[in-house]
A and B are shown apart, each in its own frame.
Chain A
Amino acid sequence: MDNKAENPAILQKQAKPPGKITRMFLTLYDVCQFVTRFFKEGFLPPYEGKELMRQCYDIGYRSLALISLTGFITGIVFTKQSRPSLAEFGATSWLPSLVGIALLRTLAPLLTSLIAAGKVGSSIGAELGSMRVTEQIDAMEVSATNPFKFLVTTRVLASTITIPILTFYTAMVGMLGALLNVSLFEDTSARAFFQASLEQITFLDITASTVKAIIFGFTIGIVGCYQGYNSSKGTEGVGKAANSAVVIGMFLIFIEEVISVQFFGLFRS
Chain B
Amino acid sequence: MEQKKPTNMDKEKVIEINGLYKSFGTYDVLKGVDLDLYKGENLVVLGKSGTGKSVLIKIIVGLLTPDQGAVKVLGQMVDEISYKELLALRLKVGFSFQNSALYDSMTVRQNLEFPLVRNQRNLTKGEVNNAVERVLDAVGLLQTINQMPSELSGGQRKRVGIARTLILQPEVMLYDEPTAGLDPITCLEINNLINEVQERFHTSSIVITHDLTCAKAVGNRVAMLLDGKFERQGTFDEVFNTNDERVKPFYDYNFIQ
Contact surface of A with B, Cβ cutoff 8 Å: 1-2, 7-10, 12-13, 46, 131, 134-136, 138-146, 150
Contacts and interface: CB of A to CB of B under 8 A. Distances in A.
A131 B118 CA distance: 19
7 contacts: A2-B32, A10-B23, A131-B103, A138-B97, A139-B97, A139-B103, A144-B90
Contact of A145 (B19, B21, B119): B119
Contact of B88 (A1, A138, A144): A144
Given A143-B115, A144-B115, A144-B119, A12 B67 contact: yes
Contact of B63 (A1, A9, A131, A138): A138
Interface in B83-105: 87-88, 90-91, 93-95, 97, 99, 101-104
Contacts of B115: 140, 143-145
A265 to B, nearest CB: 44
A134 B101 CA distance: 6
A145 B67 contact: no
Contacts of A12: 67
Contact of A8 (B31, B68, B88, B91): B68
Contact of B21 (A7, A134, A135, A141): A7
A143 B168 contact: yes
Given A8-B68, A145-B119, A13 B26 contact: yes
Nearest to B66: A9
A182 B86 CA distance: 64
Contact of A136 (B23, B32, B103): B103
Nearest to A143: B115
Interface string B103-115: 1100000000011
A1 B87 contact: no
B104 A13 contact: no
B164 interface: yes
Given A1-B19, A136-B104, A143 B61 contact: no
Nearest to A146: B87
Nearest to B57: A142
B194 to A, nearest CB: 18
B103 A145 contact: no
A142 B93 contact: yes
B184 interface: no
7 pairs of A and B residues whose beta carbons are closest in the complex: A9-B67, A143-B115, A139-B101, A142-B95, A135-B101, A144-B90, A9-B21
Contacts of B23: 9-10, 13
B87 A134 contact: no
B125 interface: no
Given A10-B23, A139-B102, 6 more contacts: A8-B67, A9-B23, A13-B26, A142-B61, A144-B90, A150-B118
Contacts of B67: 8-9, 12-13
B25 interface: yes
Contacts of B11: none
Contacts of B238: none
A135 B168 contact: no
Contacts of B26: 13
B28 A135 contact: no
B200 interface: no
Given A1-B19, A9-B23, A144 B121 contact: no
A146 B99 CA distance: 21
Contacts of B99: 134-135
B198 interface: no
A165 B31 CA distance: 56
Contacts of B118: 46, 144-145, 150
B202 to A, nearest CB: 20
